[in-house]
Structure 1
Amino acid sequence: MTQVPSSRQFETLREAAERTGLCTKTLRRRIAAGELTAYRAGPRVIRLNPDDVDHLLVQIPTISRTA
C-alpha cells in the first residue's frame, strides 16, 4: 500500500484547478493517465497533494533579449 504524506494539506480537484488555472477535467485525465497521484478518502472523495499538482506545470525556456 502507498504511504500517504502525513503532515501535508491536501486539496480538492476544484481547489487545484482554481489555483493552477487548469480544468478539473484535465486533472482527472492526468490522474487516469498515471501522471498525477490522487488519494481517495471515500467512494466520491478525491484529494491531491499540491506539490504533485505543481509538478505538472513545467517552465517553458525563453530566449532572453538584451537591448
Structure 2
Amino acid sequence: MDARTRSDSPGPTLVSLAKAADQFGVSVKTLRRRIADGTIHGYRVGRLIRVDLDELHERLLVEIPSAK
C-alpha cells in the first residue's frame, strides 16, 4: 500500500480531547467521563488520547423533540 492509498481510505477523524471539548462546548473532563463509562470510544496514539468527531456527533448530540 502506498501513501496515497492510505490517505484516500475513509477512516475516523481523530482529534485531541481539548479540540473536541472546545468544538462541542463541554469540558475535557466530561469527555474523559464519557470514555470511562463507554458512551464514546477513546483512541490512544502513543501517549495521547484522541476521539472520533463523527462518533461524538452521533452519540453526544441529542435532538430535543418539539412539542407541536
* Superposition TM-score tier, normalisation by shorter sequence: 0.7 to 0.9
- The residue that corresponds to 1:7 in the other structure is 11
* 1:6 CA drift (Å): 5.5
Give percent identity, aligned residues only: 42
Counterpart CA distance in 1 for 2:33 and 2:26 is 11
- The residue that corresponds to 1:63 in the other structure is 67
8 Å contact 2:12–2:54 — kept in the other structure? no
8 Å contact 2:21–2:27 — kept in the other structure? yes
Q: CA RMSD in A?
A: 1.7
Q: C-alpha deviations, 1:29-64, integer Å up to 9, x for none? A: 00000110110012x300111011112110111124
Structure 1 segment 1-67 matched on structure 2, within 5 A:
7-42=11-46, 44-55=47-58, 56-64=60-68
Structure 1: segments with no counterpart, 5+ residues: none
Structure 2: segments with no counterpart, 5+ residues: 1-8
- Between Structure 1 and Structure 2, the one with more strand by share is 2
Aligned residues: 59
Provide runs of 4+ in structure 1 moved above 6 Å.
Answer: none
Counterpart CA distance in 1 for 2:32 and 2:16 is 11
